[in-house]
Amino acid sequence: MGKISAVLRLTRIEHSMMLVFAVLAAELITKGLPSANYLALSFITPIFISMGSFAINDYFDVEVDKANKKMRPLVTGELSRSSALYLTFVFMAIGIISSALINFYCFVIAIIFAAFSLMYSYRIKELPLAGNSYIAFSMAIPFIFGSYVVSGDLRLSIILVFIMIFLSGTAREIHGTIRDYEGDVKMRKAKTLPGVIGKKNSATFSFLLYMVAIFISFYLFAYIAPFRSNYVYLAIIMISDILLFYVSYGCLEVRNMKFYEKARNISLMSMALALIALILAPL
- Which whole number is the average pLDDT over 14-20? 88
Specify the pLDDT at position 237.
97
- Which whole number is the average pLDDT over 265-270? 88
Q: If you compute the radius of gyration of the chain from its CA atoms, what whole number of angstroms results?
A: 19
Give the tens place of pLDDT for each residue, 150-206.
998 899 999 999 999 999 999 998 888 877 666 665 555 667 777 778 878 888 899
Specify the pLDDT at position 114.
93
Q: What percent of the chain has pLDDT over 70?
A: 93
- Say yes or no to pLDDT of 265 above 90: no
Specify the pLDDT at position 179.
76
Domains of the chain: 1-152 (1.10.357.140), 155-283 (1.20.120)
Burial class (CB in 10 A: 0-12, 13-18, 19+), 77: exposed
Specify the pLDDT at position 169.
93
Specify the pLDDT at position 187.
56
- Say yes or no to pLDDT of 261 above 80: no
Specify the pLDDT at position 255.
62
Query: What pLDDT band is residue 256 in, cutting at 50, 70 and 90?
Result: low
Specify the pLDDT at position 165.
96
- Shortest CA distance to 266 belongs to which of 282, 278, 254? 254
Give the tens place of pLDDT for each residue, 73-92.
888 888 888 898 999 999 99
Query: In terms of pLDDT, which residue wins out, 252 or 42?
Result: 42
Q: DSSP 3-state assignment of 282? A: coil
Specify the pLDDT at position 76.
83
Whether the full predicted model's pTM is greater than 0.85, yes or no, is yes
Q: Quick check: 99 and 41 in contact, CB under 8 A?
A: yes
Question: Long-range contacts made by residues 82-88, C-beta under 8 angstroms, separation at least 24?
Answer: 84/10, 84/55, 84/56, 84/58, 84/59, 85/55, 85/56, 85/59, 87/7, 87/10, 87/11, 87/51, 87/52, 87/55, 88/52, 88/53, 88/55, 88/56, 88/59
Specify the pLDDT at position 181.
66
- Which whole number is the average pLDDT over 28-49? 95
